[in-house]
């Protein structure tokens, strides 16, 4: 690939970019009208972020989501967070009294414990209040880790509907649930999978196997007697409990794989994401969903785990295969080296210790910075040599991701610098 092909891309981006005049959630979203052409008639839009807990990326995403809700009739938001815990967030945005700082904890991920996400929930709650129940936007999760909420929900369902679980199994599940509940969670915590992995290691092989066996048996019983259980509760509640039980099995597979192969754990996790997102879509015919997560999950190309050269099929890759043009991926990119480091939770590693910085000048991010605009949205051109050739993309994850831009993303949201999101106070303090 020649330098001229890169310059050709930069010149095209300068000519076709859509400048974004503000990142303030409540400002006019008229500058985001190019999303009409990017999203088109797609049923699912994945919005990725290259850096978790970055203020500008969260703000940009929030405004894009607002536009898609108000102008493209999207009505389901799927967080990279707990499948069962998301129900508490959904109840909040539909009017249940609470505090966003509390309900966001039910997603089980530190990356959502910030003022930017809380403010968005408050906006969505107000938006929903002005609409009849059938027109309100719903919140869902797609992650199986940690399985904390499901470990409580499934036994509670059986206690009410069919007291078939053995007393010693119930006591065992309760003990495991308490272990997961005890994992610290704050805006500066590591990703949830780390704390959950530590719990899984401490359980030992026997308890790990027992936990998976109990919930595999529960899933089989629910599927075998689905008419009976749906009649004894409701069809909606039955489907929710089946998903919760499956989520515990998924969590066991993800955390079990993580003990020996991070690559296999990444495979199991993105597979679970895919199944859980498909379940949300199947459960809501006619709905239109927006997914929040990291670029590596939203991209329509596989990624490489740090421990293996074997590629991992992503959520975005599967959705592109399953739904075709009905899935649109919007990635994010950040100007080279422009990390302010202010506040907790933002990676700011010296260049000599960070492979990402040393290779950053050859990245997608660096090319977009040369466009010369502070923040913009760019529909990814597919007819250029540079966008059809593998390029690196900066991220807080290792290793640096490589993408063929025109295959991986339909569009990129670019900001020229990021700072840490504003952390929410720990409710226990």
**pLDDT reading at 2 higher than 80:** no
Give the pLDDT of residue 190.
Answer: 65
pLDDT tens, 369-420?
A: 999 999 999 999 999 999 999 999 988 876 678 999 999 999 999 999 888 8
pLDDT tens, 65-91?
A: 999 999 999 999 999 999 989 999 999
Compute CA 140 distance to the chain's CA centroid, rounded to the nearest angstrom.
Answer: 10
* Single pTM value for the model: 0.93
d(CA 334, CA 395): 9
Neighbours of 227 (CB within 10 A): 10
Q: Which residue has the higher pLDDT, 338 or 175?
A: 175
CB-based contacts of 130: which residues, under 8 Å, 6+ apart? Answer: none
Best CA proximity match to 137, nearest among 97, 94, 106: 94
Contact predicate 387/9, CB 8 Å: yes
Residue-number span of the structural domain to which 365 is assigned: 1-74+288-429
360 lies in some domain: yes
**Residue 29, domain CATH:** 3.40.1660.10
CB-based contacts of 428: which residues, under 8 Å, 6+ apart? Answer: none
- Cα angle 334, 340, 345 (rounded to 5 degrees) comes to 90
Listing DSSP states for 372-399 in one string gives: --SEEEEEPPSSSTGGGS-EEE--SSSS
* Average confidence score pLDDT of the chain: 90
> CA of 189: how far to CAs of 53, 101, 423, in Å?
11, 15, 11
Give the pLDDT of residue 3.
Answer: 66
Percent of the chain with pLDDT over 90: 79
d(CA 364, CA 348): 19
Peptide bond into 399 cis (omega under 30): yes
42 lies in some domain: yes
Terminal-residue alpha carbon distance, the chain = 55
Q: For residue 65, what are its two tokens?
A: 């989501």
388 lies in some domain: yes
DSSP strands (E only) in 14-122: 18-19, 44-49, 76-82
Q: State mean pLDDT over 293-308.
A: 91
412 lies in some domain: yes
Contact predicate 222/245, CB 8 Å: yes
pLDDT tens, 220-261?
A: 999 999 999 999 999 999 999 999 999 999 999 999 999 999
d(CA 15, CA 358): 29
**pLDDT reading at 301 higher than 90:** yes
- Cα angle 420, 368, 393 (rounded to 5 degrees) comes to 65
30 lies in some domain: yes
Best CA proximity match to 188, nearest among 119, 117, 111, 118: 111
Number of domains in the chain: 1
Long-range contacts, stretch 401-407, CB < 8 angstroms, 24+ apart: 401/295, 401/296, 401/299, 401/303, 401/304, 402/304, 403/299, 403/301, 403/364, 404/301, 405/364, 405/380, 406/380, 406/381, 406/382, 407/300, 407/301
Q: For residue 231, what are its two tokens?
A: 């009649």
Query: Which residue in the block uniquely carries the two structure tokens 């996790």?
Result: 269
């Amino acid at each position: 690939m020649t330098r001229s092909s890169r310059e050709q891309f930069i010149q095209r981006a300068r000519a076709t970019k859509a400048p974004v005049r503000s990142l303030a959630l409540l400002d006019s979203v008229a500058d985001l009208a190019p999303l009409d052409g990017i999203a088109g008639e797609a049923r699912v839009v994945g919005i990725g972020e290259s850096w978790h807990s970055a203020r500008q990326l969260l703000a940009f995403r929030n405004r894009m989501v607002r536009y898609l809700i108000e102008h493209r009739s999207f009505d389901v938001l799927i967080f990279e967070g707990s499948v069962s815990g998301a129900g508490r967030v959904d109840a909040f945005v539909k009017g249940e009294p609470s505090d966003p700082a509390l309900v966001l904890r039910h997603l089980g991920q530190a990356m959502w414990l910030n003022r930017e996400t809380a403010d968005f929930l408050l906006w969505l709650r107000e938006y929903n209040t002005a609409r009849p129940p059938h027109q309100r936007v719903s919140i869902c999760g797609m992650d199986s880790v940690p399985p904390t909420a499901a470990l409580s929900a499934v036994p509670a369902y059986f206690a009410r509907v069919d007291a078939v679980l053995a007393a010693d199994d119930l006591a065992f599940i309760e003990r495991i649930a308490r272990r997961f509940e005890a994992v610290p969670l704050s805006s500066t915590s590591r990703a949830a999978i780390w704390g959950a992995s530590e719990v899984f290691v401490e359980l030992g092989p026997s308890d790990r196997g027992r936990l998976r066996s109990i919930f595999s048996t529960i899933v089989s019983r629910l599927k075998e007697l689905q008419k009976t259980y749906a009649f004894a509760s409701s069809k909606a509640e039955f489907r929710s409990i089946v998903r919760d039980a499956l989520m515990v099995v998924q969590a066991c597979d993800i955390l079990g794989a993580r003990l020996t192969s991070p690559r296999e754990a990444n495979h199991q996790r993105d597979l679970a994401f895919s199944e859980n997102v498909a379940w949300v879509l199947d459960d809501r015919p006619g709905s239109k969903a927006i997914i929040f997560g990291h670029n590596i999950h939203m991209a329509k190309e596989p990624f490489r785990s740090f421990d293996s050269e074997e590629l991992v099929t992503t959520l975005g890759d599967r959705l592109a295969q399953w739904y075709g043009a009905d899935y649109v991926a919007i990635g994010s990119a950040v100007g080279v080296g422009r990390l302010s480091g202010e506040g907790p939770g933002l990676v700011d590693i010296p260049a000599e210790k960070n492979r990402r910085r040393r290779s950053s000048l050859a990245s997608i991010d660096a090319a977009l910075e040369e466009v010369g605009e502070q923040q913009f949205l760019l529909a990814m051109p597919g007819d250029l040599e540079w966008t059809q050739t593998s390029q690196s993309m900066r991220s807080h994850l290792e290793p640096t991701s490589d993408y063929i831009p025109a295959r991986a993303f339909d569009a990129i949201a670019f900001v020229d610098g990021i700072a840490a999101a504003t952390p929410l106070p720990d409710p226990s303090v």
